[in-house]
Amino acid sequence: MILNGTTRTVSPGSASHPLPRPGSPERGASQGILRKPGGDEASIAAPAPPVTFPFSAIVGQDEMRRALMIAAVDPSVGGVLVFGDRGTGKSTAIRGLAALLPPMKAVIGCPYSCDPAKAAGECPHCSGRPETRRSHLAPVPVVDLPLGATEDRVVGALDLERALTRGEKAFEPGLLARANRGFLYIDEVNLLDDHLVDLLLDVAASGINTVEREGLSVRHPAKFVLVGSGNPEEGELRPQLLDRFGLAVEVTTPTDLPTRIDVVRRRDAYERDPAGFCAAYAKADRALQKRLTAARARLSALDVPDETLEAAARLCLALGTDGLRGELTLMRTARALAAYEGADTVGIDHLRQVAPSALRHRLRRNPLDESGSTARVARAVAEVLGS
């Protein structure tokens, strides 16, 4: 884990960053860094890209890192909910992960960063101009959703006046447009308006954002991994919303001395020399990137055997989870983990590893069992799957 303060701007032009760095969270992926011609390092026209704390340099927080990687391998597992103390490196981990993902090919000028290899049908920008879909490489976006954001700012705004007076359909894309193909991060998601959380979960599940006002309607692609973080002591999420996040992980401040020292030492080294620190972890980040890319490619070829599915069902039955969402998530998560590990099949051990993150937020309150949800899942795993 890391302490807070995720990014820091350093002198640009250092050649020691072979990996893509994301734009600042409030900027779109398509806004590149402009330099004046001539290459004079002193005459940089735009601010330098922030240097992100490397994902591979994060100490501990294994469950959170694994959940984020699983979501990156297969976004269909649904979002990730991270519960825990402040300053446990949640935001840093997301930015670090996005930064190590391979840059994506995106249509130049498209506010939704469309993939030029895909049909333009869903995109209001590209579908009108299929012949001009030139592309560039853009970093995977990480978009922050601030708590006070209005619905218009999140989903985008339709300009009704322009539509009525000039007959034009004018749409101002919102944060969901910018998050397409990347990550949408909400700190303190439990303090966000329920209605907005509901809407976000709908869009995340369908991959399409539809905005309708007074008979006008706009649809655009919005495929993103939703990552919400929060402190349960400051407000609970409604169970109906909780259950719609794919994975839930708990992070805590480490209590053992060596880990704490390691965290502080690495943070300090990063603050003193971000470029040098990142260079030291570039190789490890590249290795992770390779693994993630390979896992994505393996995913579609991986079958889940009947015995694994049966074990997943027995586990969910034993825990009394509502509906079938738990089993579906458990299966997808185990498959993504198997792909990440380069396994040939999805086995019981994969289930065992992912069961806490896939199920702990789906348990009904049991008045006779006051032990925490993590302990209950662990007990059921031991009983049903064996240790």
Q: What's the rounded Cα separation, in Å, for the pair 80 and 225?
A: 8
What is the nearest approach in angstroms of Zn ion to the Cβ of residue 146? 25
Q: In this structure, are residues 377 and 353 in contact, taking their beta carbons and an 8 Å threshold?
A: no
Sole residue written with tokens 């820091």: 8
What is the nearest approach in angstroms of Zn ion to the Cβ of residue 284? 34
Q: In this structure, are residues 122 and 218 in contact, taking their beta carbons and an 8 Å threshold?
A: no
% helix, strand, coil for the chain, step of 5: 45, 15, 40
Q: In this structure, are residues 249 and 204 in contact, taking their beta carbons and an 8 Å threshold?
A: no
Catalytic residue numbers read 325
- What does the binding site for Zn ion look like in residue numbers (CB under 5 A)? 110, 112, 114, 123, 125-126
Q: Which is nearer to Zn ion, 114 or 247 (CB)?
A: 114
Q: Which is nearer to Zn ion, 114 or 336 (CB)?
A: 114
Q: What's the rounded Cα separation, in Å, for the pair 333 and 67?
A: 9
Sole residue written with tokens 């570039």: 282
Q: Which is nearer to Zn ion, 125 or 361 (CB)?
A: 125
Q: What's the rounded Cα separation, in Å, for the pair 198 and 183?
A: 17
Q: What's the rounded Cα separation, in Å, for the pair 139 and 88?
A: 25
Q: Which is nearer to Zn ion, 223 or 332 (CB)?
A: 223
What is the nearest approach in angstroms of Zn ion to the Cβ of residue 140? 16
Q: Which is nearer to Zn ion, 29 or 123 (CB)?
A: 123
DSSP H or E segment with residue 105: strand 104-107
What is the nearest approach in angstroms of Zn ion to the Cβ of residue 366? 48
Cα 258 to Cα 231, 287, 343, 376: the distances in Å are: 25, 26, 33, 29
Residues 6+ apart with CB under 8 A from 132: none
